[in-house]
């Protein structure tokens, strides 16, 4: 089931395999035999998807194209450190006005949480039980560090997208949970009190974060976080058609747009904007391009019959650039 949900679950399977091998000391024990059988049966269930990716490799390349661009090491390292805070507390959403109050304390919170994580790792390495230590370090290494090393050597931004790093994120949370649980059982009164305060802080921060994420119209997640604002603007435009070049964007926007809005999904938008194909759009008063690529933008800009205008005016206080454009006819 994990592989069907996300191919990167394969790293979890690898970490589990390494853990079992180390724990069983590379001997063919009863536990190792049972694990091999279970892994084999799981692999059989994935064969249909495996065949699909072998016969159509373009599907995999398309699904990860957005994180395949090369990135400098300093930028990667900065993103890795910044991503630690949202694992526990994420109370600043640029699209929710009143959360700007928390922006002042982001760096302070990030520092406190980073220190807590480092102390937790040190405690695990120094005092953790062998079984827990092996399990967590296998999970961290094969679900997180491998992707980080891959990004450093080959380029890419897999390791800065938390949706690709969920097992790694969970392993960090487990390390911190293990540390706090041991401190709550400490014989020293001060350690117990500090652990209680820290635990209450993390729980309250998590509840507040979940509340903000649940009720916000749009979040700071991957991709463009201004979908809700764009959809609201499109819903106010009568007799319009929105052109999507990416099926993922079309699917994301589908639940935000009103049913009377027309949608056109195509991978070849420039071809549909040729002079002989403009009749297709004559029945619409407004044509909207959603996240058009450079070829499409240049095609419209170079066409003397049309002019390209951003659907939303750029706002320096918002965290993204315009992602939707309105095609205006110069003949009107």
The helix, strand and coil proportions of the chain, stated in percent and rounded to the nearest 5, come to: 65, 10, 30
Is the model more confident about 254 or about 318? 254
Rg (CA), the chain: 25
Q: Is the pLDDT of residue 257 over 80?
A: yes
Strand runs (DSSP E) across 96-253, as ranges?
A: 240-244
Sort strands 286-290 and 240-244 into parallel, antiparallel or unpaired. parallel
Lowest mean pLDDT among 70-74, 96-100, 244-248: 96-100
| Residue 93 burial (10 A CB sphere; 0-12, 13-18, 19+) | buried
How far does CA 93 lie from the centroid of its chain? 15
pLDDT tens for each residue of 93-116: 666 666 667 777 778 888 999 999
pLDDT of residue 3: 67
Pairwise CA distance, residues 307 & 328, whole Å: 5
Nearest-10 crossing angle of helices 166-184, 189-215: 150
Q: Which residue would you say has higher pLDDT here, 43 or 207?
A: 207
pLDDT per residue as tens digits for the range 201-217: 999 989 988 887 776 66
Contacts of 185 (CB under 8 A, 6+ apart): 192
Among 58-62, 76-80, 146-150, 209-213, the range scoring the smallest mean pLDDT is 58-62
Considering the chain, what percentage of its residues have pLDDT values greater than 90?
27
Place of tokens 């390494």: 18
Residue 96 structure tokens: 């929710």
Comparing CA positions, the residue from 170, 167, 147, 166 lying closest to residue 157 is: 147
Q: Which of 40-49, 87-96, 111-120 has the lowest mean pLDDT?
A: 87-96
Please give the pLDDT value at position 276.
Answer: 44
Domain ranges of the chain: 1-63, 67-222, 227-329
Mean per-residue pLDDT for 238-260?
81
Strand partners, 325: 289, 310
Instruction: Give CA–CA dist 40/31, Å, rounded.
Output: 14
pLDDT tens across 287-311, in order?
Answer: 888 888 777 777 777 765 667 788 8
| DSSP letter string, 120-131 | HHHHHHHHS-HH
Q: In terms of C-beta density within 10 A (0-12 exposed, 13-18 middle, 19 or more buried), how is residue 260 classed?
A: exposed
State the DSSP H helix or E strand holding residue 113, giving kind and residue range, or none if neither. Answer: helix 106-127
Kindly report the length of the chain: 332
| Cβ contacts of 300 within 8 Å, gap of 6 or more | 273, 289, 292, 306, 307, 308, 325, 327
Give the rounded percent of residues in the chain with a pLDDT score beyond 70.
78
Confidence band, pLDDT 50/70/90 cuts, at residue 319: low
Please report, for the chain, how many H helices and E strands are present, in that order: 17, 5
pTM recorded for the entire structure: 0.73
> What is the DSSP pairing of strand 306-310 with strand 286-290?
unpaired
Query: What is the structure's pLDDT at 10?
Result: 80
Q: What is the DSSP letter of 141?
A: I
Strands 240-244, 262-265: pairing kind: parallel
């Amino acid at each position: 089931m994990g592989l069907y949900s996300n191919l990167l679950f394969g790293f979890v399977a690898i970490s589990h395999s390494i853990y079992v091998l180390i724990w069983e000391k590379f001997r063919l024990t009863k536990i190792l035999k049972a694990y091999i059988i279970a892994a084999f049966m799981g692999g059989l269930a994935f064969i249909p998807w495996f065949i699909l990716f072998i016969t159509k490799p373009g599907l995999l390349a398309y699904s990860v194209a957005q994180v395949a661009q090369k990135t400098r090491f300093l930028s990667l390292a900065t993103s890795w450190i910044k991503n630690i805070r949202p694992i526990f507390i994420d109370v600043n959403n640029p699209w929710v006005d009143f959360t700007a109050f928390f922006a002042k304390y982001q760096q302070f919170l990030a520092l406190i949480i980073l220190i807590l994580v480092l102390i937790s790792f040190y405690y695990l390495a120094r005092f953790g039980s062998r079984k827990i230590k092996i399990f967590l370090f296998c999970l961290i290494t094969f679900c997180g560090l491998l992707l980080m090393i891959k990004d450093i050597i080959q380029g890419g931004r897999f390791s800065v997208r938390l949706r690709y790093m969920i097992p790694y994120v969970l392993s960090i949370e487990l390390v911190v949970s293990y540390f706090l649980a041991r401190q709550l059982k400490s014989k020293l009164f001060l350690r117990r009190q500090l652990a209680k305060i820290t635990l209450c802080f993390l729980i309250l921060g998590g509840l507040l974060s979940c509340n903000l994420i649940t009720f916000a119209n749009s979040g700071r997640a991957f991709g463009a976080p201004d979908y809700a604002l764009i959809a609201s603007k499109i819903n106010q435009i009568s007799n319009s058609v929105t052109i999507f070049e990416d099926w993922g964007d079309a699917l994301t926007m589908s639940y935000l747009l009103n049913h009377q809005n027309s949608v056109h999904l195509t991978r070849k938008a420039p071809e549909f904007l040729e002079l002989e194909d403009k009749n297709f759009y004559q029945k619409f008063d407004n044509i909207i391009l959603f996240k058009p690529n450079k070829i499409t933008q240049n095609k419209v800009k170079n066409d003397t019959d049309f002019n390209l205008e951003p659907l939303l005016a750029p706002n320096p206080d918002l965290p993204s650039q315009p992602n939707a454009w309105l095609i205006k006819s110069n003949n009107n």
